[in-house]
Amino acid sequence: MQKWVALIDLEPKAYGAHSLRRTKVAMLYKKTGNLRACQLLLGHRKLESTVRYLGIEVGGALAMSEQVDL
């Protein structure tokens, strides 16, 4: 993992599997606003855990979800 991080000119000591896991899901949430998809990818049982893990405000998450028509 550290060799891969170094290849893309990042500091290997600053990144690990967990930080990359969080980054990927945070990027997905930012692009789609789909908390449920993030929850499934992370394997969280409770949506509240996903909200806390991503460090987002519940109100902001709800506002974003209301913009998506199903």
pLDDT at 57: 74
Flag residues of the chain having pLDDT under 70.
58-70
pLDDT at 21: 78
- Report d(CA 53, CA 21) in Å as an integer: 11
State the residue range of the domain holding 29: 2-66
Q: If we measure between CA atoms, which residue out of 9, 69, 61 comes closest to residue 30?
A: 61
Task: Tell me how many domains the chain contains.
Answer: 1
pLDDT at 70: 52
